[in-house]
Amino acid sequence: MPFDYQPTLTSDLIALRPLHAGDFNALYRVARDPLIWEQHPVPNRYEMAEFKKFFDESLASGGALVAVDRASNRVVGSSRYHGYDAIRNEIEIGWSFLARSHWGGTYNGEMKRLMLEHAFRFVNVVVLLISPDNIRSQRAAEKIGAVRAGTRPHPIGVEALVFEIFSMEWSRTNAN
């Protein structure tokens, strides 16, 4: 069964749905905050021209999801599936960002939980490629159970830290 890159995933807290061209304005309202990008390899992504490139790449990827806060029905961020590898039996989750109003709470964990549950229907390993300078994302990856497993070139042209989550480990620690 081929990997489904753009599912609709929903919980009481957050909904993830395929990104559409009409989401640009709502998503840019979130992304124009410079603090979101300060530890990112593209720290000026808050600028309209740079975000437009990111948004267009997200649409073209065929794996981008927009995150909607269920309580307010507002767009609060996005994430993406990328790089399905049948030989490694893995998929990457990345390009994630959330509005600062949704940092430090349960939103990132819930977004990743939904994405992991979906991914583990198709693969045994989920990887997150994170810039060595992005301490916030490294800590967030560890909070959801990812373990650092080396480095790998990232598609945006940097050497990234690889964090892995294995389906068996994740299922064991997240069983209801």
pLDDT of 152:
87
pLDDT of 92:
95
Show Cβ contacts of residue 52 under 8 Å, excluding neighbours closer than 6 positions.
24
Q: 171 pLDDT exceeds 70?
A: no
Q: Distance between CA 98 and CA 79 in Å, rounded?
A: 9
Q: 169 pLDDT exceeds 80?
A: no
pLDDT of 155:
72
SS3 of 139, please?
helix
Set out the domains of the chain in order of their start, with CATH numbers: 9-173 (3.40.630.30)
Query: Whole-model pTM?
Result: 0.93
pLDDT of 130:
92
Q: Distance between CA 89 and CA 159 in Å, rounded?
A: 22
> DSSP strand E in the chain: where?
9-10, 14-18, 64-69, 74-85, 90-98, 125-130, 147-153, 159-166
HSE-up (13 A, CA, CB side) for residue 78: 26
pLDDT-derived band at 36, boundaries 50, 70, 90? very high
Q: Are strands 90-98 and 125-130 parallel, antiparallel or unpaired?
A: parallel
Q: Distance between CA 171 and CA 105 in Å, rounded?
A: 22
